[in-house]
Chains A and B, each alone.
Chain A
Amino acid sequence: MEPYRLLDPEGRLTGDLPDGLDADRLAGMMRLMLLGRRLDEKAIALQRRGKLGTYAPLSGQEAASVGSSFAMDTDVDRLVPQYREQLAMLHWGLPLGTYLLQRYGHPKGARLPEHGRLYPQQVALAAHAPHAVGLAWGMRLRGEPGAVICHFGDGASSEGDAHEAMNLAGVTDAPVIFVIQNNGWAISVPIASQTRGVIARRAEGVGIAGRRVDGNDVLAMYAATAEARRRAVEGGGATLIEAVTYRLGAHTTADDPTKYVDAAELEDARTRDPLVRFRTWMTAEGLWDDEREQAAIAWVDERIEEAVVEFDAAGPADPAAMFEHVFADEPPRLARQRAEYEAARELGS
C-alpha cells in the first residue's frame, strides 16, 4: 500500500499545497521540527551528565508529530499522546521546562497546562487509546466542539487496548484520530515481526477511515490529519492514520541500537530525513534561507536554555507531594501513614 505523499524524497511538491498553510505557519512547522532535533541532542547530553532520567529521542519522526499537530486546532482539540510525542505536547502548550522535569522524575514535571486539553504522556503501551475514544465520545455527547488526536507506536498497535479502542471508536462515532507512528521499531523488534499486515488496513476491519501516509513528509501528514479532523468534527467518525517513518536514534538513552539495527538500513533511512526534505522544498519556494535557519536555531536554543534554567530552578522534590492527589480528600488511614512517613524521615532514611 503506497503511502500518501505530497513531497517526494527530493523535496518536490507533487500535489496541491494543503489549505491553511501560509508562510508563517510553514515557518512555524520548520521551527518546531528543528526544536525537536536539537532537543534530542541537548536532552541526551543532560542525561549523560545525570541530569535527566531515560530520554526517548524523536529524531526522524519530526514530520509525523509536527504535521499532525499543526492540522489540529489546539484551542478546542485535545491531545492524548504516547511518550515520544514531545513536540506535539509542546505544541499543546506544555512548557519545555516542565517536560524536562518530568523526564528527570521530579514531581513538578507532572503539571499539565491549565487549559485541560493536553493529557499525560502514556508509558503503558496503548493504554491511552481507549481514553482518547471515551474523551471524544464524551465531547460528542456534551456537544463540545473539536476532536481528539491520539498518537501511539507500531509496537503499541499490537496491544489489545489498541484494537479495542479502534473498534470502539467505530461504533461510538467518536471524533478521534489515531496517529500510529510506524517508526519501524518497537525497541529492538522490527515491524516485520510486529505484524504481517498493513497497519492502516485495520481501519477497514473496524469500519473507520484509514490512511497510510509518508510520515517523513510534513505536508502529507498535515493534509491527511486535516482531512481526518474535518471528518471528525462533521460527525463522520474516527480515522486511523499510519505514519510510515523511521526512528533514527536509540529507543531511549538506556538502549544500544547498534546491537540490532543494520547500519546500511539506518544510512538509507537517513537519506529520507524529514527535516532535510521540508527544508529543501521551503528553500526552493523562497520560504526559507540560511538567515531564517540561523534565526530559528537561535530561537530554539534560547527556548531550550530557558527551559534548562526553569529546570534548575525547580529545587529539590518535595516529599509531601507523594501523598497528594491520591484521593480528592485524604482518608484517615492515609493520613496516619503520612505521619508514619514523617517520623521515618527523621531517621534520615
Chain B
Amino acid sequence: MTTQSMIEAIRATLEDEMARDERVMVLGEDVGTQGGVFRATEGLKQRFGADRVVDTPVAEAGIIGASIGLATAGMVPVAELQFLGFAHQAFHQIGFQLGRFRYRTLGAFPLQVTIRAPYGGAVHAPELHSDAFEAMLANAPGLKIVAPSTAADARGLLTAAIRDPDPVIYLEPLRGYRLVRDDVPDGDHLTPIGAVRIARPGTDVTVLAWSFQVVNALEAAELAAEEGIDVEVVDIRSLVPLDEAGIAASVTRTGRCVVVEEAPRTAGFGAELVATVQELCFLDLEAPIVRLSGWDTPYPMPLLERDYVPDTARILDAVRRTAAY
C-alpha cells in the first residue's frame, strides 16, 4: 500500500502501464515537456521519449481521430483532453467514430483507446472548464465511461481502462486531484469496469453518486448519522456499463434513494439512474427518489459556482426529506 493523491495515482499508473506494454503511448496538449497542466504525465516524456509521449497541436478532433487510427495500427493510445469542456471540439470523433468503429466493422480492428479528461466544478476554473458532460458521452453507444472518486480506484480503473479492448472515457475529478488521498494497492491493481463500490454501508437511505460528489455524499452521510439516519453511499464509478444489480441491491435494502450529479438537470445521467431504480426497485421503494443536480443554466461565473454544484448541505437536506417521507 502507498498513500497517494488521485493525481499521483494517475501519473504512477500511466508510467507503469507504459513500462509494461510498449504499445502504450500518451498524446495530448502539453502532456510532454510540461508533464500536463495538472502534472498527470510528469516525467513520462523523459523516461519514454517523444515518440511515446506526444505534445500535439491544439486540435482535439485530430487527437481523438488519430487515436482511432493509432489503435487500429496496433498502438494503445491514451489521449488526454486538457479539460472535458474541450471534448466538444472532438465530439464527432468520440461519439460517431470511436464509439461505433467496432460495430461498423464487425469488430475487425483493435480499438484499445483510453481518453482521459479532468472535469467537474467548484475549483474556480475559467469559463467552459467546469461543465459535467457525462450524459452526452453516455448517450453515444459503444463507449465505456468510468469516473473514480478515490486514489485506489484512480489506479484500478485507469489500469483496467488502458487494458480494456474497448474505448474507455476516464473522467478525473478536478476538485479531487489533490484533495483526495487514500491507500493505493501496490503492484497490478485492477478495478473491474462495470461494478459499483459501496463507499459507506448503511441501512436507511441509498445515495448514488460518482466522481467528486461521492466525497460530498460521504460527508453528508456522517452528518446524517449524527441525526440517526444511516446512509449507504454507492459510488457508481462506472457509468457505462452500469452495474444495475449492484444499484438495485442497495436500494432494495434501504427502500430510499437520492441521486446526486453536477450536470444540468434536464437529461443528466442522474435521470438514467432514477429511471433504472424505478424499473428495478419499484415495489421496494418507500419514498419518491430525490434528484440533486446543477441547474438548467449554463455553468455560472466562478463566484456563483458554489450555488450551482450540489454540496454537502443540499445532499443532507435531500437525505432528511427522503428518510422522513
Residue of A260, A322, A337 most packed against chain B (CB within 10 A): A322
B197 at the interface (CB under 8 A from A): no
Which residue on A lies nearest to B292, using beta carbons? A344
Q: Do B86 and A349 touch (CB < 8 A)?
A: no
Give complex CA distance A193, B56 in Å: 7
- B57 CB contacts on chain A under 8 angstroms: 155, 158, 186, 189, 193-195
**Given the complex of chains A and B, what is the CA–CA distance between A323 and B296 in angstroms?**
8
In the bound assembly, the distance between CA atoms of A322 and B304 in angstroms comes to 7
We find that the number of chain A residues with CB closer than 8 angstroms to chain B is 47
- Cβ contacts A to B, 28 pairs, < 8 Å: A53-B124, A53-B302, A105-B302, A107-B301, A124-B86, A155-B29, A155-B58, A158-B59, A159-B59, A159-B60, A160-B61, A186-B29, A186-B58, A187-B30, A187-B34, A188-B55, A189-B32, A189-B56, A317-B301, A317-B303, A321-B304, A322-B307, A322-B308, A326-B296, A334-B295, A341-B295, A347-B313, A349-B306
Contact of B16 with A by CB under 8 A: no
Q: Is B179 an interface residue (CB 8 A)?
A: no
Closest B residue, CB atoms, query A345: B307
For A189, the closest partner residue in chain B by CB is B55
| A322-B58 contact, Cβ under 8 Å, with A123-B128, A124-B89 | no
Chain A contacts for B37, CB-based, 8 A: 187, 254-255
Determine whether A54 belongs to the interface, using a CB cutoff of 8 Å to chain B: yes
Q: B235-266 interface mask toward A, CB cutoff 8 Å, 1 = contact, 0 = none?
A: 00000000000000000000000000000011
Question: B residues within 8 A CB of A53?
Answer: 124, 126, 302
Contact of A123 among B126, B312, B313 (CB under 8 A): B126
Please tell me the number of chain B residues within 8 Å of chain A, measured between CB atoms: 44
Q: How far is the CA of A158 from the CA of B58 in the complex (A)?
A: 6
Q: Are B295 and A193 in contact (CB under 8 A)?
A: no
B 117-159 binary contact with A (CB < 8 Å = 1; else 0): 0000000101111000000000000000000000000000000
- A259-B297 in contact given A53-B302, A105-B303, A155-B58 (Cβ < 8 Å): no
Q: Which B residues lie within 8 Å of A107 (CB)? A: 300-301, 303-304
- The docked-state distance in angstroms from the alpha carbon of A159 to that of B63 is 11
Q: Is A333 at the interface (CB under 8 A from chain B)?
A: yes
Contact assessment for B128 and A194 in the assembled complex, using a CB-CB cutoff below 8 Å: no
Instruction: Indicate if B192 sits at the interface (CB-CB under 8 A).
Output: no
CB neighbours of A316 from chain B (8 A): 303
Residues of A within 8 A of B129 (CB): 123
Name the interface residues of B84-100: CB closer than 8 Å to any CB of A: 85-86, 88-89
Map CB proximity to B onto A305-349 as digits: 1 under 8 Å, 0 otherwise: 000000000001101011100100000011001100100110111
Answer yes or no: B181 CB below 8 A from chain A CBs.
Answer: no
The smallest beta-carbon distance between A312 and chain B, in angstroms, is 14
- Give chain A residues whose Cβ lies under 8 Å from the Cβ of B201: none
CB distance A317 to B304 under 8 Å?
yes
Chain B 35-58 per-residue mask, 1 if CB under 8 angstroms from chain A, else 0? 101000000000000000001111
| Interchain CB contact (< 8 A) of A106 among B89, B265, B301, B307 | B301
Interface string of A171-204 (1 = CB under 8 A from B): 0000000000000001111000111000000000
**Cβ-based interface call for B33 (8 A):** yes
